[in-house]
């Protein structure tokens, strides 16, 4: 662990820093005053040499004087490619000091997720989720902060920290309200770009800046000069010190040290020597001073600069080819010359002869002074030394990245091994760098395609457009055969999907299926094709898709995962098209093995992805099998949390758990899950399908709760407007947005949106009135303006509902029909809606039907029942409506007995009343099969037609 170095004098670089020190002191005191106080992040920002390191050293002194635990780390210009380098410096020593069992117990479920990134646990076999690892590191700090309170974390040169550390720092900064810790970060204004700059800026935005660090004034420079050289330093000499250094605190301190070493008198007559002395303290002057210490010392300093961290006398001696005694002598000379220094003691085990550069400026100057060819050669030797030391391929890869390509197959294999290690700890960017460098070597012709495939897999989630190029090139080359080629085609289609090129994804798997002679491979590729087509909300990719899928699935028994996939896809397609729900459930059940997801089709299995189990679960959710849907959604959530997958996968899991709550009628729980989904989705990035799933479901839930203004606020904040994503979102966002528009008085826009939804659903043959409820919504919207069309739409909704056959679908169609009627016809329809929705698992819809029936029948008893149900659901708007209606109603309803209502409806069927034949059926759940009453309804329909 690199500690913030202490300055030679207690106030050497702290002149004119009183306000900054006061702020730091107050922050330490606040931390120490209350164990439950929220955390604080302070940012010291300034150019090189303005005293950032000195401020961190002063923070350490203040904190330790008050009994705080202080851990610190420093970024390095040559170490930015080492993932988790800085966060390891901070946390690893404390965790290593624990017994392995203690660390495992202390980190709990996060041990296997964050432990590999911190270097205290072996990584697992599968690729780690970067966001999950980041969350695990945040959790580790939160637990350590409770254990080590009051805890202060110091991060110097954060602009040179690795990207993975900066991602963690930004995430931790967001959670400081829950973590009593003080973090002080020192950074330069520039020297960082891309994602690293975004993370560092996000962390800084969540914290509080100290005053911008400026150069010393002439008076402060004079005070520092006299404090260092004596009160006899005359004014002219002091002014020249300021002119030479520009008031830079670091350069001033170094220059004054040179004055002391040279025994120069601080008088005007000697002031002319200051510029030459200043040049020797930096840049070329520093190199010349280094050379004056001798060849061995120069080689030692070069080797130390190559290593960057983990600098020990033994390691440097091996790299510089010096014997132990000569190396120790060189280390002493370089320390006396203020080029190297021993760091402050770190907690936990450490090497007694550890070294670091006095200042990053010196480290950079020494590194840049190494001749290019020699620097490259030394990196190659360092890579071998690191490998021989047993530190692993990932640790050696930093040096291999600097070695010139030389057609060396061994280097290619080392870099591939390093990439696998980086992926296993959640550092895909580091893996990408290794594999891109391996391609430059280049690999042997028979290995080239495999390296490209591995690179494509490493960049799949972070750069899909880049992945497409890599995988297309790999598939065009020899070397990918059998299962690996099929996997590459699947990954390419995934990348095309993520890059919004769904039609190209379908063509890719179609072409591969046509050329592959293996029937089992063709079946798998056909399943992938149907899967991508199935999640496309627009025009079908090929004519007759549903028919061909049905024919193919009819031959499947579920004996392997390709057949199981086709059964799931056929079930999902039939569900969205509104085909018989019992047949949908039967298809889905055949895809399971002993009632569970088959191995290889699980939530974290990469062979098929998460789309298939999500389709399976949603098919159950919309066929009134909410018990099975909720079990699958909960399994997904638990699986991702256990595996540490806290990016897009976890966001989707929370969204679909919320969908399950929404379907069940637990609106408060749904809102909580969906807000958590949206929080995670925000970290992944807006515009993705998972983002739409969270937003659409949250707005739908808020509207059901009656929180219209909040729903509108969410829609405005998260851009819930066309164009819609290229993959299907459940529920359909168009009717949800239309309902929001109608609820906020934008009737014409709402009707237009519903008519657009009508066209989109018709183009795909999607007639499930529960998944795509545009018919009932449009019928209600047109009830006054165009009652004829509204009635036709309600009849169409009843027809589709009867075809689908669930209690929810039929009950909702009846609710719509009742809303368009008046008098006893409205009462009878509302009573039938209650009958069906009473048997449905969807309690919100049941509550709404009760309230509407109570209003239509002027029934106090029904309104009370509806109010109680609405209150239990959290439907505040429905509660208010029921309460208002109770004040206007008299209990005049007919019997509320389900059997009486069904008997009355059956009598209407016997009398041949066609408007009711499409909606009468048993109140028994659909799992018991088609009831006698439902069969009677269909008989009446046939006879009346």
Q: Is the pLDDT of residue 542 over 60?
A: no
* Model pLDDT, residue 8: 37
On average, the pLDDT of the chain sits at 85
Q: Would you state the structure tokens that stand for residue 642, as one six-digit string?
A: 């256990």
Q: Is the pLDDT of residue 945 over 80?
A: no
Q: Would you state the structure tokens that stand for residue 247, as one six-digit string?
A: 């008031």
* Model pLDDT, residue 488: 92
- CB neighbour list of residue 709: distance below 8 Å, 6 or more residues apart: none
Residue, of 401 and 12, whose pLDDT is higher: 401
What's the pLDDT tens digit per position in 28-61? Answer: 999 999 888 899 999 998 888 888 888 998 999 9
Q: Is the pLDDT of residue 906 over 70?
A: no
DSSP letters spanning 46-93:
--TTSSHHHHHHHHHHHHHHTT-EEEEEE--TT-TTSTTHHHHHHHHH
DSSP letters spanning 21-50:
HHHHHHHHHHHHH-TTSPPEEEEEE--TTS
* Model pLDDT, residue 346: 54
What span, in angstroms and rounded, lies between the C-alpha atoms of 506 and 521? 16
Q: Is 548:528 a contact under the CB 8 Å cutoff?
A: no
Please state the pTM of the whole predicted model. Answer: 0.74
Q: Would you state the structure tokens that stand for residue 781, as one six-digit string?
A: 């919207």
Residue, of 686 and 218, whose pLDDT is higher: 218
155 SS3 class: strand
* Bridge partners of residue 224, in order along the sequence: none
Q: Is 58:24 a contact under the CB 8 Å cutoff?
A: yes
Q: Is 820:791 a contact under the CB 8 Å cutoff?
A: yes
The sheet carrying 151-156 orders its strands as 69-74, 151-156, 181-187, 40-45, 208-209
- Percent of the chain beyond pLDDT 70? 89
DSSP conformation class of 340: E
* Bridge partners of residue 185, in order along the sequence: 43, 155
* Model pLDDT, residue 87: 94
What span, in angstroms and rounded, lies between the C-alpha atoms of 181 and 149? 8
DSSP letters spanning 888-935:
T---------HHHHHHHHHHHHHTT-HHHHTT---SS-GGG-S-HHHH
Phi, psi of 341 (to 5 degrees): -155, 160
Q: Would you state the structure tokens that stand for residue 196, as one six-digit string?
A: 């690293």
Q: Is 455:432 a contact under the CB 8 Å cutoff?
A: yes
What span, in angstroms and rounded, lies between the C-alpha atoms of 429 and 426? 9
The residue behind tokens 């960057």 is: 308
What span, in angstroms and rounded, lies between the C-alpha atoms of 118 and 104? 13
Q: Is the pLDDT of residue 935 over 80?
A: no
Mean local confidence (pLDDT), 558-574: 92
- CB neighbour list of residue 224: distance below 8 Å, 6 or more residues apart: 12, 15, 216, 249, 252, 253, 256
DSSP conformation class of 264: -
Q: Which of 90, 141, 148, 144 shows the shortest CA–CA distance to 119?
A: 90
Q: Is the pLDDT of residue 907 over 80?
A: no
* Model pLDDT, residue 681: 85
Q: Is 587:571 a contact under the CB 8 Å cutoff?
A: yes
* Model pLDDT, residue 901: 38
Question: Which range (164-173, 594-603, 642-651) has the least confidence?
Answer: 642-651
Question: Which range (153-162, 164-173, 517-526, 928-937) has the least confidence?
Answer: 928-937
Phi, psi of 340 (to 5 degrees): -115, 160
DSSP letters spanning 808-869:
HHHHHHHHHHHHT--HHHHHHHHHHHHHHHHHSS-HHHHHHHHHHHHHHHT-HHHHHHHHHH
- CB neighbour list of residue 817: distance below 8 Å, 6 or more residues apart: 794, 797, 798, 829, 919
- CB neighbour list of residue 163: distance below 8 Å, 6 or more residues apart: 80, 83, 194, 195, 196, 199, 429
* Model pLDDT, residue 932: 36
Q: Is 170:202 a contact under the CB 8 Å cutoff?
A: yes
DSSP letters spanning 401-470:
TTSPP---HHHHHHHHHHHHHHHHTT-HHHHHHHHHHHHHS---HHHHHHHHHHHHHHTTTT-HHHHHHH
What's the pLDDT tens digit per position in 715-748? Answer: 999 999 998 877 788 888 999 999 999 999 999 9
* Bridge partners of residue 596, in order along the sequence: 593
* Confidence bin at 258 (pLDDT 50/70/90): confident
Helix 445-458 and helix 464-475, axial crossing angle in degrees, nearest 10: 160
718 SS3 class: coil
What's the pLDDT tens digit per position in 262-287? Answer: 888 888 888 888 888 887 655 556 77
What span, in angstroms and rounded, lies between the C-alpha atoms of 86 and 716? 39
Q: Is 807:894 a contact under the CB 8 Å cutoff?
A: no
Q: Which of 138, 156, 159 shows the shortest CA–CA distance to 89?
A: 156
Q: Which of 582, 575, 736 shows the shortest CA–CA distance to 662?
A: 736
What's the pLDDT tens digit per position in 841-886? Answer: 999 999 999 999 999 999 999 999 999 999 999 999 999 999 998 8
C-alpha to C-alpha distances, 120 to 96, 104, 134, 135, 579, nearest whole angstrom: 7, 9, 16, 17, 54
Q: Is 438:451 a contact under the CB 8 Å cutoff?
A: yes
Q: Is 572:616 a contact under the CB 8 Å cutoff?
A: yes
What's the pLDDT tens digit per position in 7-16? Answer: 333 345 688 8
Mean local confidence (pLDDT), 480-488: 89
Mean local confidence (pLDDT), 386-414: 90
Q: Is the pLDDT of residue 166 over 60?
A: yes
Residue, of 113 and 895, whose pLDDT is higher: 113
Mean local confidence (pLDDT), 881-897: 60
DSSP conformation class of 535: T
- How many Å is the maximal CA-CA distance in the chain? 122
What's the pLDDT tens digit per position in 485-512? Answer: 998 998 898 888 877 787 888 889 989 9
- CB neighbour list of residue 655: distance below 8 Å, 6 or more residues apart: 673, 674, 677, 681, 690, 693, 694, 697
- Percent of the chain beyond pLDDT 90? 51
């Amino acid at each position: 662990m690199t500690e913030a170095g202490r300055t030679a004098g207690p106030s050497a670089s702290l002149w004119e820093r009183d306000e900054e020190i006061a702020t730091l002191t107050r922050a330490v005191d606040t931390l120490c005053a209350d164990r439950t106080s929220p955390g604080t992040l302070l940012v010291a920002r300034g150019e090189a040499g303005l005293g950032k390191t000195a401020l961190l050293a002063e923070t350490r002194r203040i904190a330790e004087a008050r009994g705080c635990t202080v851990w610190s780390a420093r970024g390095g210009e040559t170490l930015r490619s080492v993932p988790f380098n800085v966060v390891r410096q901070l946390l690893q020593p404390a965790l290593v000091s624990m017994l392995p069992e203690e660390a495992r117990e202390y980190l709990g479920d996060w041990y296997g997720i964050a432990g590999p990134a911190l270097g205290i646990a072996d990584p697992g076999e599968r690729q780690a989720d970067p966001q999950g690892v980041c969350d695990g590191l945040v959790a580790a700090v939160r637990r350590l902060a409770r254990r080590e309170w009051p805890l202060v974390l110091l991060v110097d040169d954060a602009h040179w920290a690795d990207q993975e550390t900066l991602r963690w720092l930004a995430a931790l900064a967001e959670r400081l309200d829950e973590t009593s810790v003080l973090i002080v970060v020192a950074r330069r204004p520039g020297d960082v770009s891309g994602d690293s700059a975004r993370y560092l800026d996000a962390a800084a935005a969540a914290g509080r800046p100290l005053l911008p660090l400026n150069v010393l004034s002439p008076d402060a420079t004079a005070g520092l000069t006299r404090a260092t050289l004596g009160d006899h330093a005359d004014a002219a000499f002091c002014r020249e010190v300021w002119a030479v250094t520009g008031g830079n605190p670091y350069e001033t301190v170094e220059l004054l040290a040179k004055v002391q070493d040279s025994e120069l008198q601080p008088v005007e007559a000697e002031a002319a020597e200051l510029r030459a002395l200043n040049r020797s303290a930096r840049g070329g002057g520093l190199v010349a001073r280094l050379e004056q210490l001798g060849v061995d010392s120069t080689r030692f300093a070069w080797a130390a600069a190559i290593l960057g961290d983990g600098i020990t006398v033994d390691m440097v001696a091996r790299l510089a080819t010096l014997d132990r005694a000569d190396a120790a002598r060189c280390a002493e000379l370089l320390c006396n010359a203020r080029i190297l220094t021993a760091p402050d003691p770190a907690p936990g085990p450490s090497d007694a002869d550890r070294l670091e550069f006095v200042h990053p400026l010196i480290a950079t100057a020494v590194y840049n002074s190494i001749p290019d060819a020699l620097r490259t050669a030394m990196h190659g030797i360092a890579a071998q030394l690191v490998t021989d030391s047993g530190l692993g391929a990932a640790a050696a890869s930093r040096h291999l990245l600097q070695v010139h390509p030389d057609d060396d197959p061994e280097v290619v294999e080392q870099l591939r091994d390093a990439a696998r290690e980086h992926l296993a700890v959640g550092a895909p960017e580091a893996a990408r760098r290794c594999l891109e460098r391996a391609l430059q070597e280049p690999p042997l012709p028979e290995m080239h395609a495999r390296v490209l495939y591995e690179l494509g897999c490493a960049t799949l989630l972070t750069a899909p457009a880049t992945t497409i190029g890599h995988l297309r090139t790999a598939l065009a080359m020899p070397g990918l055969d059998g299962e690996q080629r099929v996997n590459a085609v699947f990954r390419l289609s995934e990348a095309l999907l993520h890059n919004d090129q769904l039609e190209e994804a379908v063509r890719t798997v179609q072409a591969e299926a046509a050329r592959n002679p293996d029937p089992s491979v063709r079946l798998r590729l056909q399943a992938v094709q149907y899967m991508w087509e199935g999640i496309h909300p627009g025009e079908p990719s090929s004519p007759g898709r549903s028919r061909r899928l049905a024919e193919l699935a009819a031959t499947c028994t579920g004996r392997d995962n390709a057949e199981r996939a086709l059964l799931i896809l056929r079930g999902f397609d039939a569900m969205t098209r509104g085909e018989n729900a019992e047949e949908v459930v039967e298809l889905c059940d055949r895809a399971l093995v002993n009632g569970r997801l088959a191995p290889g089709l699980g939530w974290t299995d990469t062979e098929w992805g998460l789309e298939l189990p999500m389709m399976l679960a949603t098919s159950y959710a919309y066929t009134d099998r909410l018990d099975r849907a909720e079990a699958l959604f909960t399994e997904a959530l638990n699986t991702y949390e256990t595996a540490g997958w806290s990016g897009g996968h976890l966001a989707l899991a929370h969204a679909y758990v919320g969908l399950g709550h929404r379907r069940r009628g637990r609106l408060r729980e749904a809102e909580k899950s969906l807000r958590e989904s949206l929080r995670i989705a925000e970290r992944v990035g807006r515009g993705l399908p998972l983002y739409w799933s969270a937003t659409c479901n949250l707005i739908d839930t808020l509207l059901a709760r009656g929180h219209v203004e909040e729903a509108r606020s969410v829609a405005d904040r998260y851009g819930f407007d066309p164009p819609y994503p290229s993959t299907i979102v459940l529920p359909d966002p168009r009717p949800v947005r239309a309902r929001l528009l109608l609820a906020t008085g934008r009737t014409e826009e709402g009707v237009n949106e519903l008519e657009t939804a009508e066209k989109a659903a018709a183009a795909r043959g999607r007639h499930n009135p529960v998944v795509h409820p545009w018919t009932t919504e449009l019928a209600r919207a047109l009830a006054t303006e165009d009652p004829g069309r509204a009635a036709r739409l309600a009849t169409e909704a009843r027809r589709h509902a009867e075809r689908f056959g669930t209690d929810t679908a039929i009950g909702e169609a009846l609710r719509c029909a009742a809303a368009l009627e008046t008098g006893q016809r409205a009462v009878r329809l509302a009573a039938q809606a209650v009958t069906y929705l009473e048997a449905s698992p969807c309690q919100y819809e049941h509550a709404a039907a009760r309230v509407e029936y109570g209003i239509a029948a002027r029934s106090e008893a029904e309104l009370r029942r509806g109010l109680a149900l609405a209150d239990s659901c959290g439907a505040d708007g429905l509660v208010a409506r029921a309460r208002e209606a109770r004040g206007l109603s008299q209990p005049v309803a007919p019997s509320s007995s389900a059997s009486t209502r069904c008997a009355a409806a059956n009598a209407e069927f016997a009398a041949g009343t066609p408007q009711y034949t499409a909606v009468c059926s048993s109140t028994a759940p659909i799992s018991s099969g088609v009831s006698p009453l439902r069969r009677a309804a269909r008989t009446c329909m046939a006879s009346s037609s």
